[in-house]
Amino acid sequence: MYKTEVLIISNRKELSIKYKKLIENLGQNVVIAKDLSDAISDIQNKEVEFIIISDTIKEKLSDFIKKIRILTYNTRPIIIAVSKSNDLNDKLETLEAGADDFLGEEISKSEFQMRFKAHIRRYIESSLNPTTRIVNKNITIKALKKSFAQIKPYSYLLIKIKGINTYRKTHGEIAYEKVLQTLSAIINSTLSQEDFVGHISDSEFILITNTMQAEKIASFLVFAFDNILSKFYSNDEYENNFTIEYDETKQETKQALMRLNISAAEKNENENDYREILNNLNELIELCKNSLNSTYVIDRIKLKGKVLKKEKKNKVLILEPDEALSCLLKNVCELEGIKTEITFNKKEFEKIYKTFKPDVAIIDWGNKQENHLEIAKKISKDDVKIIFSSTYLNKKEILKSGADLYMPKPYEINDIMEWIKKFLN
């Protein structure tokens, strides 16, 4: 649940306290100020979203509202004027000065609450992502800041769908939106009254919960996502456990199915800013990248530390019977500072592969007597990217063998170099 910050500016104590109690009963946070100088620090530090201004202040109400509008130009809070005057000109002048609503002091408690609830509803609904109906990044950042301002401990979950951008490209916008809508429904089903969830980007979420529930929520989300994954793919794609991404040059890349990655961490005494927890969560979620299934990682305080940097990938092994082409590839790779070995048959490849341990393997189809699909099947279990070059047209069979990219011959050297660099990075 998201709690808004409400500032009441009134020079009459009993009036301020009455409105404060009414708004706090709606679950919102309230602070009181007597005048402009008293209110400035709250306006600057709390990023208030609602300001209730009573005409009990010493200045003229409309003039005071104009000053507030100038001070809050960047945040644009909702301003509600409260006055004992029923004069139409006073109402019009106040609204013209920048107030969003005008209420008479004689208004009943129940009507005041209903009107204020309507303003809260409009404020939240204007901040909802149109696809997921979950609040946008601006509200999420505010929620993070508010949680850091409290002494109460919280846990934070960063929720990402690995492969969602590829899915969007291969299956279209409607299918992409359906994935996000389904995930948002699953997330909302796990939330308690005090939990919060919001977008940190179009397809990424931040969930704030209590420390006892974080791992239970993460575990349920990855379980639920993997169990509904088949609904987003064809039977063939789901059974093969990959989808094919096409491009304009007829190159075809094998892409893994979507997976849900979650990192979770607790707020601790050494963190003073919400950006620190976001950096921590983004570092942690890198640990999920190599998992074949949806997964989560929890940052335990006793295991806290930086994610170790991986050794740079920089080795390419080429199996290409065409000696001229293989030498050309080797020379171009070495000009880019890439360590490269070339082989001309299956036996040579298997021997060098064991000692060289490449990061990228470029494999030619071969011929009827000796095709190289078995090599791809064998090494695809290792941490190596496989580019299969061929005039052979059964691309699905090639990609099912373990290849990450099908590149039809003849190809441009620049094209294959772009893919080599992409896989090495």
Nearest alpha-carbon partner for 251 in 144, 133, 394, 411: 411
User: How does pLDDT run along the chain (425 residues), one tens digit per residue?
Assistant: 688 999 999 988 899 999 999 999 999 999 999 888 888 888 877 789 999 999 998 889 999 999 999 888 888 899 999 999 888 999 999 999 999 999 998 999 999 999 999 999 999 999 999 999 999 999 999 999 888 878 788 899 999 999 999 999 989 999 999 999 999 999 999 988 889 999 999 999 999 998 888 999 999 999 999 999 999 999 988 888 888 877 655 567 778 899 999 999 987 766 678 888 899 899 989 888 878 889 999 886 433 334 444 568 899 999 988 888 889 899 999 988 999 999 988 889 989 999 999 999 999 877 766 678 888 888 988 889 999 887 765 677 787 888 888 888 888 888 899 889 989 98
Neighbouring residues of 309: CB distance < 8 A, sequence distance ≥ 6 = none
Question: Which amino acid type is present at position 26?
Answer: L
Residue 282 vs residues 181, 276, 301: alpha-carbon distances, Å:
23, 10, 16
Question: Which amino acid type is present at position 213?
Answer: Q
| C-alpha span between 406 and 373 (Å, rounded) | 12
Contact (Cβ atoms closer than 8 angstroms) between residue 52 and residue 7: yes
> What DSSP character marks residue 84?
S
How many residues are listed for the chain in this entry?
425
5-9 vs 29-33, strand pairing mode: parallel
User: What proportions of the chain, in percent to the nearest 5, are helix, strand and coil?
Assistant: 45, 25, 30
Structure tokens given for 3: 């709690």
Is 412 in a helix, a strand, or coil?
coil
